[in-house]
Structure 1
């Protein structure tokens, strides 16, 4: 009996993960490149750039879990490839997470994890230029996924010459007339001899951090607002004429601990928010967020209460989107309606977050769509970032979507 007890104690000592299971919750996930916390994670490898992917997050758990990150190469629609030649087997997992114990004042989480990839301590690499996803999992069971994210890897081959001009939507009857304001984004390029013109696929534009809502210009057809030109040799032009400039985002800013000392706070110090259609907002983070440093004793979590009064009582659903939910429209963020007052509550780490309200509107046929401008405004004075990606139908290795060109431009 003594031998059995000694054996069991030895097993628990060397394999603590076998001794119990625990609930693990990941909070405040951030993905960015280098030390640029508010930048879209576009990782460039070239003679001039050798970027690093940074992933960090808080963890709520009784004990520090043994976590890894699994990387998967994807098509342009973020579907991971199952082709063996594209799975990057053996170099697709990162174990280089450093963790710290959070200050005692942080009650909603216990640990902070941070990793940099690729690194000298890991065998991770990103051999393909294109869309990638990562999954935070248990080290001994990758089917247990606690969080995931998206990023781009770029091996640039083609120089993109892109520019923006102000424009108006033609053939539309919109009121207020500011809804007709658009940016016309044009991208010109010439491909080198080693690339085949027939494999040029499409240009995708990501506005700020709206990674789930790409503006797509496809070469298969031309419309009044999405246009493609090829000179039958090696020069191409892609144009999008219907990009709404929107407004500067609303912003949460709880960095001032004297002003926001309570755990329960309003999204805005004045309380209820209203439409900003005719009011230009202040400069924002272009959809990003900045969190209080995890070692700070004030890097705690707050109960944030959003209150928005609609301009009309018969408004439909209103959704909350922002850097706290990756700018994704979701029923989980549909606001609670009480006549013309909409409310919602979020648990957020102290920091600065861009956000906005999105309304649902219906047409005469009863079709519901989402309007990002009607409550926020649509002005040419807005400063946006536009990430422009050129996709190529790579025929090698069974075929995949390869990004061969990338550039970043601002609207002003």
Structure 2
């Protein structure tokens, strides 16, 4: 591990030529910070999703948000039939001034979509891009969300406890797994041969989905099709993990401006044998922008991992969209792994993971070795059914969605 120490600012920030920094970027369903931004038009009420962020800059900028429809891999489509240019840009964002005691940012934005200017005509994955109105080539920040249009398909998922069948774990605790099975009947208006597969996202970890390919069965993932319109998708060996660690920065006497330790004791250890209490399902609950308690703190995370853990350790959480990245690698200081992150007052879920570098890329992420693996963990699994729609030049469409909790399994 690298032997130096530094301060890490909020993840997913991009600095433009005008030195504009987007901080504390959040996306969530309606006005509920704990809900993943998945707009489901099958619900009885009209759903929206919220974009919140702070802006650090010397002068009030003229920002816009551009929305783009994407394929399954979050790559935007360039086809004119899929870009909807008339209703894909939110202009003249209204920025509110932050309280004078907030020194780390000057403005705040909050908006809900769709609205009169923005619509989402296609069912699938979407991205938004924050940029200056006069410079669309420079993306300051970006985010992701999912839109699901009305569907006649009823997904029927079920979760059962199991033991790992295709690996020999070093500890029996790591052998605890779930089997997730999803049945459905395809309506006559759709073609069975165009069913592409099923994607499963655990909590808010949208960067690390499981995908069951309709045309490629493995020992852990396979599809049963009756040759007509009945399908059953199954995935084995889903490790439940543990409920997340939680950091509550709202206590001003405990976490005094401008810095502090993540946990009151200062040093954290492995939770491999410790089941955590309820969390926020991987979300952030950030203080209201207009509050005098909306300051930013430099928070030091420190962990002393077991001696047998030799791989690099990374901090991951709701503050960096659960992305394991080099910027969040813990740094060795006298045998103690440390990292300082600048966070706005609020409540955050997080955890520690190990991973390896392979060809300068992060691989072999282990979510359990420092956090444990318990059947009692309350995970939300978001299940998406993909269809290769041949219309408008062809696109990957989500034709059904369902979420299921592992609580009580």
In the TM superposition, residue 310 of structure 1 has moved relative to its aligned partner by: 1.1
Aligned to 1:148: 142
Aligned to 2:88: 92
Aligned to 1:132: 126
Aligned to 2:169: 174
The counterpart of 2:48, out of the listed 48, 52, 63, is: 52
The counterpart of 1:401, out of the listed 377, 396, 404, is: 396
Whether the 8 Å contact between 2:165 and 2:237 is mirrored in structure 1 is no
Measure the CA separation in 2 of the matches of 1:200 and 1:360. Answer: 34
The counterpart of 1:109, out of the listed 105, 108, 122, is: 105
Aligned to 2:25: 29
Measure the CA separation in 1 of the matches of 2:296 and 2:87. Answer: 36
Aligned to 1:282: 277
In the TM superposition, residue 406 of structure 1 has moved relative to its aligned partner by: 0.3
Distance 1:232 1:313, change over 3 A: closer
**Structure 1 residue ranges, 4+ long, deviating more than 6 angstroms after superposition:** none
1:286-305 matches, within 5 Å, as 286-305=281-300
Measure the CA separation in 2 of the matches of 1:220 and 1:339. Answer: 51
Aligned to 1:231: 226
Measure the CA separation in 2 of the matches of 1:311 and 1:368. Answer: 21
Q: Is residue 2:243 matched to residue 1:248?
A: yes
In the TM superposition, residue 22 of structure 1 has moved relative to its aligned partner by: 3.5
1:69-92, CA deviations, whole angstroms, 9 ceiling, x for partnerless residues? Answer: 000100001011111111112211
| Deviates further, 141-150 or 170-179 | 170-179
Q: Which runs of 5+ in 2 are unaligned?
A: 1-16
Measure the CA separation in 1 of the matches of 2:92 and 2:50. Answer: 11
In the TM superposition, residue 314 of structure 1 has moved relative to its aligned partner by: 6.2
Distance 1:82 1:277, change over 3 A: same
Measure the CA separation in 1 of the matches of 2:188 and 2:24. Answer: 45
Q: Is residue 2:73 matched to residue 1:71?
A: no
Aligned to 2:375: 380
Aligned to 1:389: 384
Whether the 8 Å contact between 1:314 and 1:340 is mirrored in structure 2 is no
Distance 1:171 1:202, change over 3 A: closer
In the TM superposition, residue 142 of structure 1 has moved relative to its aligned partner by: 1.3
1:340-355 matches, within 5 Å, as 340-355=335-350
Count of residue pairs brought into register by the alignment: 387
In the TM superposition, residue 370 of structure 1 has moved relative to its aligned partner by: 1.8
Please report the TM-score for the alignment, with normalisation by the length of structure 1.
Answer: 0.91
What is the DSSP-based 3-state SS (H/G/I as helix, E as strand, rest coil) of the residue aligned with 1:324? helix
In the TM superposition, residue 48 of structure 1 has moved relative to its aligned partner by: 1.9
1:143-175, CA deviations, whole angstroms, 9 ceiling, x for partnerless residues? Answer: 121100000010031111111111111143212
Question: Which of structures 1 and 2 has the larger relative contact order (alpha carbons within 8 angstroms, sep 6+)?
Answer: 2
Cα RMSD (Å) of the superposition?
1.7
Measure the CA separation in 1 of the matches of 2:324 and 2:103. Answer: 29
Measure the CA separation in 2 of the matches of 1:156 and 1:325. Answer: 31
Whether the 8 Å contact between 1:73 and 1:133 is mirrored in structure 2 is yes
Distance 1:55 1:314, change over 3 A: closer
Aligned to 1:273: 268
What is the DSSP-based 3-state SS (H/G/I as helix, E as strand, rest coil) of the residue aligned with 2:319? coil
Q: Which runs of 5+ in 1 are unaligned?
A: 1-20
**Greater Rg, structure 1 or structure 2?**
1
| Deviates further, 37-46 or 369-378 | 37-46
What is the DSSP-based 3-state SS (H/G/I as helix, E as strand, rest coil) of the residue aligned with 1:397? helix
In the TM superposition, residue 49 of structure 1 has moved relative to its aligned partner by: 3.4
In the TM superposition, residue 186 of structure 1 has moved relative to its aligned partner by: 0.8
What is the DSSP-based 3-state SS (H/G/I as helix, E as strand, rest coil) of the residue aligned with 2:81? helix
Whether the 8 Å contact between 1:313 and 1:339 is mirrored in structure 2 is no
Whether the 8 Å contact between 1:96 and 1:116 is mirrored in structure 2 is no
Aligned to 1:199: 194
